[in-house]
Amino acid sequence: MRAPETADPAPAAIEVRSLRKAYGEVEAVRGIDLRVARGEVFALLGPNGAGKTTTVEILEGHRQRSGGDASVLGHDPGRNERALRQRVGIVLQQTGVDGYLTVREVVQMVAGYYPHPRDTDEVLALTGLSDQANRRVRKLSGGQKRRVDLAVALAGDPELLFLDEPTTGFDPSARRQAWETVRGLAALGKTVFLTTHFMDEAQALADRLAIIADGRIVATGTPDELIGSGSAATRIRFRLPPSVEAPERFGAHRVASAWELETDTPTQSLHDLTAWSLETATELADLEVTRPSLEDVYLQLTAEEAAE
Ligand code: ATP
SS3 track for 183-210: HHHHHCCCEEEEEECCHHHHHHHCCEEE
Q: Which of 23, 32, 44, 199 to mutate to test the pocket of ligand 1 (most atoms within 8 A of CB)?
A: 23
State the distance from the centre of ligand 1 to the C-alpha of 28, rounded, in angstroms. 6
Q: Whose CA is nearest to atom 18 of ligand 1?
A: 49
Return the minimum-mean-pLDDT range out of 4-8, 145-149, 239-243: 4-8
State the distance from the centre of ligand 1 to the C-alpha of 129, rounded, in angstroms. 33
Q: Name the residue with higher pLDDT: 98 or 267.
A: 267
Q: Whose CA is nearest to atom 16 of ligand 1?
A: 28
Q: Is the CB of 278 under 6 A from ligand 1?
A: no
pTM for the predicted model, two decimal places: 0.81
The pLDDT assigned to 3 comes to 45
Contacts of 36 (CB under 8 A, 6+ apart): 12, 13, 14, 15, 42, 191, 193, 208
State the distance from the centre of ligand 1 to the C-alpha of 209, rounded, in angstroms. 20
Q: Are 41 and 179 in contact (CB under 8 A)?
A: no
State the distance from the centre of ligand 1 to the C-alpha of 290, rounded, in angstroms. 35
What domains does the chain contain, in order, with CATH numbers?
12-228 (3.40.50.300), 233-291 (no CATH)
Q: Are 289 and 223 in contact (CB under 8 A)?
A: no
The pLDDT assigned to 173 comes to 83
Reply yes or no on whether the pLDDT at 99 is more than 80. Answer: no
What's the burial of 204, exposed, middle or buried (CB within 10 Å: 0-12/13-18/19+)? middle
Q: Is the CB of 302 under 6 A from ligand 1?
A: no
DSSP code for 101: S
State the distance from the centre of ligand 1 to the C-alpha of 263, rounded, in angstroms. 38
In tens, the pLDDT along 250-301 reads 999 999 899 999 898 999 999 999 999 999 999 999 999 988 778 888 887 7
In tens, the pLDDT along 7-25 reads 555 689 999 999 999 999 9
In tens, the pLDDT along 176-190 reads 888 888 898 888 899
Residue 111 CA, distance from chain mean position: 27
Instruction: Name residue 16's amino acid.
Output: V
